[in-house]
Structure 1
Amino acid sequence: MVNKQATEPQKILILVASPVDQAKLRLNEEAREIDEGLRRSQHRHQFQLEKQGALRIDGLRRALLDTKPQILHFCGHGTGSDGLVLENEQGNTQLVATEALADLFSLFAGQIECVVLNACYSEVQASAIVQHVGYVIGMNKAIGDKAAIKFSIGFYDALGGGRSVEDAYKFGCNAIQSEGIREHLTPVLKVNTAWKYVLEKSKQPPNSTKGDSSISAEPLDRLSPIQSLNGLPPQQLGKLPEKEVKEKSVGKQTLEDHKYDGRLVTIEIKLYQIVNDENNILVNSTISFGMPEIKIPQKNLFRSSTTDIKFGIKRGELGIKIKNGFMLLDKRKEFLIEIDKNSWKAEPIGKKEYPIWEFMIKKNNDREAEFSNQVLHGLHKNQYLGILELLDKNKCCELNACFKISINRMYIEIIDFDDGTNKKQKETKIGLLLKYLKPELENYVSKVVIRYEPASIL
């Protein structure tokens, strides 16, 4: 529900961008439906709607500064990792990069509480912006006009009815599904757990012990230290300005083994426990991908030699076998890794006692690349995986985490072929590499074991 203590209505800012060189969308109809839904709602007095069209980059910044919204709704076009589509002075397409967009929202941390990106392939931007606000909704692939409008109707009908953002998101998805449109799984809700906690606490009356689960209309100027969260996973609560909120690192690493000295893949698993809440253990991962160069021995009748081959991996899976615990699928998170304008998604699958995140490359059209010479590389810190729950709180819990790959061309790619290498030589080289790697990597590439002992048995 909306905070009943608030004296001022929540400001909803609708931003519309429809460049003349892009396909025409029914954006005015979407804005009109949102307005009509809020006007007829039970809590209509708690919302104030503002709208700006023909959105340019300067216009976005000025609208945020002038309007000071709590909820921002963008409707228009998206391009995935290339950015959101705004307009230039001529009314044509101008892209705003994901990083620049996220940096802009970081300057409004404490003010904007919910962002809706009703644009195709906007999940990339949602994942970046959620570092600075409580809730962000994006689209994991292209979404049709009718589905986009129906989502907005369901979402704002629910907000106007006093429901939480998370409930409103579900109402929006259901509105699509109820129309028989097979796009109800396209909208994706990103939640910053740290922000969610603060927003809930800010709505509580002075003597209250339980808060609502939606956003507040009160400005959160006292939360300027939220900037310190930048660069940390949203679920880590340790640096929140609320003194009563603390979290601690728990668990002890008892084993680690990384093939090729970790030059190919190195995984690290961290567990965090919110103080006074032993039921929920936050699980984070840090993963480093590299491109090692190895010497492969070769023998023939006349002499022995070695062949230097540099290689990397382009897909794989992180699996965690859990002893005395489980991670439910709906409490695990998909995350994206951006490398050189390409996106890899780590999709949660598997059983609750053996959760798996499957890494695969994404194209802008959301179709997985069955064969690509792009490989995973770089250090990717503090990826939030989900919530670990214990079966027996009086026993130890052990997590055996492994990153695995299949030894075939779908998973492994040779880097930097010499210009003089012909197609036949390349095939020979790939076959040689796969044969050499099989006994070494067929079980795992990187492995760690974490042991957690609940306070009750210490």
Structure 2
Amino acid sequence: MENLIEKQNLRILFLASDPSNESRLHLGKELQSVRDKLSANVHFEIKDHLATKPNDVMNEIMNYKPQIVHFSGHGSSEGELCFEDEYGKSKTIPPEALASLFNLVTDYVKCVIVNTCYAERQSKAIAQFIPIVIGTKSEISDDAAINFSSGFYTALNPDLSTESLKKAFNLGCIAIQFDGNLEEHLKPVIIYGSPGVRFASEVDSAFSLISNPKGNAVTTLINGLTLTGRKMGLTEAEAKKIIDDKIWKLQEYNNGIIEYEKNLKAILRDEFPLSDSSFTALSYLQSGLNLTNEDVKAINEKILSDPNLDNANSWYNRGLGQSQLQNYELAIEYYSKAIEKNNDYSAAFSERGLCHSKNENYELAIEDYSQAIEINNNWEISSNLSTTYFDRGFSYYQINPKIDENLNKAIEDWNQTLELNPNENSAHYNLGLAHEKLKDFDKAIKCFVKALEQGYSRKAVIYSGIIKCYSQLGETKKIQEWTKKAKNDLNLLDDLKEEYSGNNVES
């Protein structure tokens, strides 16, 4: 299975706020500097949200699922981040509240940058849950904050390991020095999460390009990670638990991808394009499997771009699916699509004819059956020449009033069915009914007896048909003989009248 994570860019969320009652900052300049530094790095994408309100922080992080969250703006001396209220005025979020949010997003957020004044307290609170957090000790100038961002994103490596993030941090500090500011380069601080948090991040990075966590290479990786965990101060058991949890999540992820793909393909066998109800069903499946919108988008793009979705065979299979659901009108539409793609598709004509028959449009059914028989090409497992003759005979028989011409055509088709498939005992039974309608009782009796000899399952109706024909012929002795046979064979004499119907041909 193709690993979808591998194809996703690493996401940076840039959240900026410059309340009107605070000193003005050059946030647009900082954002443009970040974009410029990342423009040549194909591994990253960036999304910004300016004039950020407190609720925006939660919504943007939960929906975008970034690996790096960058706050830019104002901070208070108490360590609170300043955002905007509905009037554009300053509204703060305390460190504990923001830290609680990051406790929920540890699966994907690997680094948080708080590029504001007095961000050290906020950064320490967040570092309980995030491997690397970058803040400031005290008040920092606008120019220094911009230079730090420029240097940091210049050195940013897509592995987001502790070492690469530390390198990017150091280059950010150097960028402040290069601008001639020898004091402020000491204000940014890098705060490391606990050994467990940082090790979990290392494990995530190590497994990011692995789709199947099995094999000798993975065993070697696990051994190496275990040693890394020890260096970070973890016991072997602690490191093993973090690695095992990651492997379990990866397996669950892979299973979820496979399950979603399987269900999407199954729905596409029934309908195309997808209906609103199918999209709703898939969204519930996505939620149950804990797949992101990006995961689902990648799967949909891969499967829905398959040119085979629009070929004759796919439309035929959708017709079968809808026919089984008794959605005959939609099935007819899909079979018609199949015929548009391949006008020599006998199976599609035959199955469309069957749907018309189910809708009691017997004339249209006969037209399709006749076309299928004339073409006699491209049959499928569920449809063949024999069954098409049989089904056309059924349609001829069902047309009311039952004139001799249509009954004789039905007889011709059922005889043709038996030439192609002598074991089709339903055809013998149907022939008996047709001959009975034509008052050719001797032929009817022979057909009923043949069906009985070949093991036709509905014995009661056959005995009833035979007895009725002998009644029409006035042969009392035969009536008594067959009544006795029925009683001995079935012990269902009381049920004969109830089960028998002269119009119930086998379809």
- Bigger proportion of residues as strand: 1
Larger radius of gyration: 2
- Bigger proportion of residues as helix: 2
TM-score range, shorter chain: 0.3 to 0.5
TM-score of the superposed pair, with normalisation by structure 1: 0.45
Higher RCO, 1 vs 2 (CA within 8 Å, ≥6 residues apart): 1
TM-score of the superposed pair, with normalisation by structure 2: 0.40
